[in-house]
Amino acid sequence: MNMRNPLANARGHGSAKSGTEHWWGQRVSALLMIPLIIWMLYTIIAIIGQPYQVVQVYFSQWINSVLAIALVLAMFRHIQLGLQVVIEDYVHSQPLETILQLLVKLFALAGTITALLAIIRLALQG
């Protein structure tokens, strides 16, 4: 006897096609960050001790703006997903858990917006 919900068959999804977004999101953002962190280390080496003008010109270049935006997006997604699991595992009292989860989302969103605005301003200065 088929115990599956007909809607599941209609959508053509097996049991593992949903509910894995969190796990995948954590891994995909981690993979993306491997080259981006290498770029970040290169950037630190390239600009450390340099005068403001040099740093500003570096961040006005197209490729560096794009990579900086990619790093900020991947990083804050990874942060939100990672902190979410830590709170789920260690904080068991309501409403503290919900409040912390919301604060983490707010932190990730505010950080993303602020960093992107700064990167775009730098890009437009070039």
Partner 1 sequence: MTEETRKQRLERPLSPYMIGSYYKPQLSSMLSIAHRASGVFLSIFGATLMVYWLVALSQGPVAYHEALMLLSAWPAKVLLGLLCFAIYYHSLNGIRHLIWDTGRMLEIKQANLAAIIVLIASSTAAIVTVLIVGGWL
The span from the CA of 83 to the CA of 71, in Å, is 18
Q: Which range touches partner 1 (CB under 8 A), out of 7-15, 55-63, 92-100?
A: 55-63
Least separation in angstroms between residue 47's CB and partner 1 is 9
**What residue type is 92 in one-letter code?**
H
Q: Which of 32, 55, 70, 91 binds partner 1 (CB under 8 A)?
A: 55
Q: Does 34 bind partner 1 (CB under 8 A)?
A: yes
Nearest to 64 by CA among 111, 118, 5: 118
Nearest to 108 by CA among 23, 25, 41: 25
**What residue type is 98 in one-letter code?**
T
Nearest to 71 by CA among 115, 28, 36: 36
Least separation in angstroms between residue 3's CB and partner 1 is 30
Token pair belonging to 47: 């600009």
Q: Which of 82, 91, 100, 101 binds partner 1 (CB under 8 A)?
A: 82
Binding site for partner 1 (CB under 8 A): 27, 30-31, 33-34, 37, 44, 48-49, 52-53, 55-56, 59, 68, 75-76, 79, 82-83, 86, 111, 114-115, 117-119, 121-122, 125
